[in-house]
């Protein structure tokens, strides 16, 4: 019996927050697997174009689309632009998000709302914009990028942790009604990953985090992108509604 391989030739992928870090790595891995890739970004057009150039260097079609996923009208335009240029969206990676490292005393209503709008409601907007088309075509794969902050107390990033916990619940709750239409939705919960988020972390704190990681290192964006690619591919054909933790063992699900 033949074993499934990762081949997205003829498929169209949308990666939100695709210009840098984990998003860029996902775009590159999808391109290597043959998908046409739409790179969504909110503000850094230069970085988005660099990602698109990397996608094209892998031999795939690329499109950059500016949109704030927290705004429903902008998401509608984003999806329409992608479909007009590349075709119907088969693969979605919800990666766009923001992060603030602040105490409870500094967690204002404005910060709370802005974080949930970007990280959680944004993912909802994009899923709702593509799911009906996926169901009609009988094919769709969605991966939400959550965080281990969803799985353990995070008193210095309360709004972020809640938004990422919501991503896990969103994944679970949407998976069941979509499964009958061959639309699978899963999540990845990265741990300490070498991105801009940790650039301002004090070295003493960073050393302590690494020491608490059984694998003894900081993860890299390709580690996460490979998990995302697995969940998008037929290698995970019997998996939906699940969250894969990619943390070097620092957080483990039961």
- List the CATH number of the domain containing 159: 3.40.50.720
Count of domains forming the chain: 1
Dihedral class, residue 137 (left if φ above 0, else alpha if ψ from -120 to 50, else beta): alpha
pTM for the whole structure: 0.95
- DSSP states along 33-48: TT-EEEEEESS-HHHH
Determine the angle formed by the axes of helices 158-179 and 122-137, rounding to 10 degrees. 10
Tell me whether residue 2 is in a domain. Answer: no
Domain that holds residue 71: 12-246
Alpha carbon 179 to its chain's center: 20
Tell me whether residue 253 is in a domain. Answer: no
Question: 59-112 pLDDT, tens per residue?
Answer: 999 999 999 999 999 999 999 999 999 999 999 999 999 989 899 999 999 999
| pLDDT bracket for residue 171 (50, 70, 90) | very high
Question: 70-85 pLDDT, tens per residue?
Answer: 999 999 999 999 999 9
Of all residues in the chain, the percent with pLDDT exceeding 70 is 98
Asked whether the predicted pLDDT for residue 253 surpasses 70, the reply is yes
Tell me whether residue 53 is in a domain. Answer: yes
Mean pLDDT of the chain: 95
Of all residues in the chain, the percent with pLDDT exceeding 90 is 84
Judge whether 160 counts as a catalytic residue: yes
Position with higher pLDDT, 195 vs 176:
176
Dihedral class, residue 62 (left if φ above 0, else alpha if ψ from -120 to 50, else beta): beta
Position with higher pLDDT, 197 vs 132:
132
Among the listed residues 120, 160, 174, 187, the single catalytic one is 160
Tell me whether residue 26 is in a domain. Answer: yes
Asked whether the predicted pLDDT for residue 200 surpasses 80, the reply is no
Asked whether the predicted pLDDT for residue 180 surpasses 80, the reply is yes
């Amino acid at each position: 019996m033949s074993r499934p391989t990762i081949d997205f030739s003829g498929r169209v992928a949308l990666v939100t927050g695709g210009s840098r870090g984990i998003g860029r790595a996902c775009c590159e891995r999808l391109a290597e697997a043959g998908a046409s890739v739409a790179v969504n970004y909110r503000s850094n057009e230069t970085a988005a174009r660099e990602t698109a150039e990397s996608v094209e260097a892998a031999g795939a079609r690329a499109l950059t689309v500016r949109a704030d996923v927290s705004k429903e009208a902008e998401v509608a335009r984003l999806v329409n632009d992608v479909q007009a240029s590349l075709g119907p969206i088969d693969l979605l990676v919800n990666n766009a998000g923001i992060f603030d490292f602040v105490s409870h005393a500094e967690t204002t209503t404005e910060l709370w709302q802005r974080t949930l709008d970007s990280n959680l409601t944004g993912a909802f907007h994009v899923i709702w914009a593509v799911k009906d088309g996926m169901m009609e075509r009988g094919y769709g794969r969605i991966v939400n990028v959550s965080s281990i902050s969803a799985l353990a107390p995070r008193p210095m990033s309360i709004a972020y942790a809640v938004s990422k916990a919501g991503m896990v619940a969103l994944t679970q709750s949407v998976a069941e009604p979509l499964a009958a239409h061959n639309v699978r939705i899963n999540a990845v919960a990265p741990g300490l990953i070498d991105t801009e988020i940790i650039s301002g972390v004090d070295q003493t704190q960073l050393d302590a985090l690494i020491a608490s990681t059984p694998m003894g290192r900081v993860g890299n964006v390709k580690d996460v992108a490979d998990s995302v690619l697995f969940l998008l591919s037929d290698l995970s054909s019997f998996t939906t509604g699940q969250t894969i933790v990619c943390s070097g063992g620092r957080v483990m699900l039961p």
